Chain A
Amino acid sequence: MVRIIGMLVGLFFSGWMLVTFVLGATEFVTNPPAETAEHKFHLKPKKVAFPSDGPLGKFDNQQLQRGFQVYKEVCAACHSLRLVAFRNLQDIGYNEDEVKAIAASWVIETPSVDPATGEASSRPSLPADKFPKPFANDIAAAAANNNAIPPDLSLITKARKGGAPYIYSLLTGYQDTPEDLPEANQPGPGLHYNPYFPNLNLAMASPLASEDMVSYSDGTQASIDQMAKDVSAFLVWSAEPKLVERHQTGWAVIAFLLIATILAYLSFRTIWADVKAEKKKKGAEG
């Protein structure tokens, strides 16, 4: 009985699947889907190396500090970094007093409550505070930015396919609209063509428009490429501040496990030695 019902169910599902396939295949052959402009013009992120890449990757604090400078002077006007606290900057080589000064002098203040009146107000940030957001909420952010909300950057290198190389490519990838771009994909008003962006047009204008937009305190030449690389590296850190700790723990754990596994394997071999020997002996006799 089970088999008869099963057979009927199987015939139904398999049969209908085959019918569906034939219908779909006919449609596919007679009316193949047109190639979309996204397929044709979209580019994969450029190959770019960061010191944090790979299992031995470490952060370069000099670079992170330069990247932070780019974030502070270029990105922070529109993009929040809401999951990172000022105190975290100590991890990239600033000392306690520098962090205090950065927090206190941050252009946007931390929202608070006026202790006398109870009204909403703001105060200078302390190291324990997270980076204050440039806009009070999404509506304010959209209103100030042509209806596009600048995404928070704390996790951006983990939240975008392609990670840091994608951010780097996007920042350095603005170009003139190609001539053969279909009408439907032309950047509308307030949009900018960038082949690294999934749908080719994004609301953000090229943020790193000219060289030396920031003047690096360590004397590094602030080329567009350098700034893009540095800020991408900084955003790797902001998304994964424990990366170095993770890599180091990983090596220690794997080294331990390798030894443990070898010991366990030897132990396994000695325990099974009798059974294997018996098998060989009997096999030889047989």
Chain B
Amino acid sequence: MATVETADSATLDDEAGGVRRRDFINIAAVSFAGAGAVATVFPLVNQMNPSADVLALASIEVDISAIETGQAIKTSWRKQPIFIRNLTEAEITEANSVSLTELRDPESLADRTTPGKENWLITLGVCTHLGCVPLGAAQGEVKGEYDGYFCPCHGSHYDTAARIRKGPAPTNLEVPEHEFLSDTVVKIG
């Protein structure tokens, strides 16, 4: 019947004459609505990003005055463990005695610490293999074959500069961005 088929046949008739006004308006309406729908997707996805209160905790200040030489503390930053270690002279020497070419992820202790504060080794307590928390920060824990940290999940050994030396982990323990606000306060993040 006429009514049913008009739309299609009309389009066909006029195809030779280029895009007609009615087609243009239909295409414009549909694409405009489509653009709106796409724009709506942004907030729908963005709501999953960290919220303002989570971002507000993105940096912390830690008082390190109570950490004796040779000791380490575990603290938490962005809900992840942070190891803050006050290295002994022996540990510093041990770390510096390793040739960088031997390392899987070549970095010197100086690369990983603040100048003048080389005894303060601040790393994430997250094994770079699959994210377990390595042992060695608390007193009495196994420090592994290289006297740093040892991840019990799959046997990664880190040295005194928290560099990967043995085991499956691909990179050194990550050093978060940090800054000494004073001799006793460090800001992480």
Chains A and B share a contact (CB less than 8 Å): yes
Of chain A, the residue at the smallest CB distance from B6 is A274
Closest Cβ–Cβ distance, residue B75 to chain A (whole Å): 10
- Choose one: B3, B26, B32; the contact of A278 (CB below 8 Å): B3
Within 8 A of A (CB), among B30-52: 30, 32-33, 36, 39, 52
Closest Cβ–Cβ distance, residue B35 to chain A (whole Å): 9
Q: Is B181 an interface residue (CB 8 A)?
A: no
Give the chain A neighbours of B79 by CB distance below 8 A. Answer: none
Closest Cβ–Cβ distance, residue A94 to chain B (whole Å): 15
Of chain A, the residue at the smallest CB distance from B27 is A267
Q: Is A256 an interface residue (CB 8 A)?
A: yes
Dominant secondary structure of chain A at its interface with chain B: helix
Count residues of chain B with CB under 8 A from any CB of chain A. 20
Q: Is B56 in contact with A127, judged by CB distance below 8 angstroms?
A: yes
Give the chain B neighbours of A140 by CB distance below 8 A. Answer: none
Of chain A, the residue at the smallest CB distance from B56 is A128
Q: Is A270 in contact with B26, judged by CB distance below 8 angstroms?
A: yes
Number of A-B contacts (CB under 8 A): 45
Interface residues on A, range: 10 to 19
Closest Cβ–Cβ distance, residue B9 to chain A (whole Å): 10
Q: Is B22 in contact with A273, judged by CB distance below 8 angstroms?
A: yes
Q: Is B29 an interface residue (CB 8 A)?
A: yes
Of chain A, the residue at the smallest CB distance from B31 is A263
Of chain A, the residue at the smallest CB distance from B52 is A87
Q: Known: A264-B33, A271-B7, A278-B2. Contact between A85 and B53, CB under 8 A? A: yes
Give the chain B neighbours of A271 by CB distance below 8 A. Answer: 7, 22, 26
Of chain B, the residue at the smallest CB distance from A256 is B36
Q: Mark A249-280, 1 if CB is under 8 A from B, else 0.
A: 00000001101100110110011011100100
- For the complex, give the distance between the alpha carbons of A260 and B25 in Å: 11
Closest Cβ–Cβ distance, residue A95 to chain B (whole Å): 15
Write the residues of chain B forming the contact surface with A, with a CB cutoff of 8 angstroms: 2-3, 6-7, 10, 21-22, 25-26, 28-30, 32-33, 36, 39, 52-53, 56-57
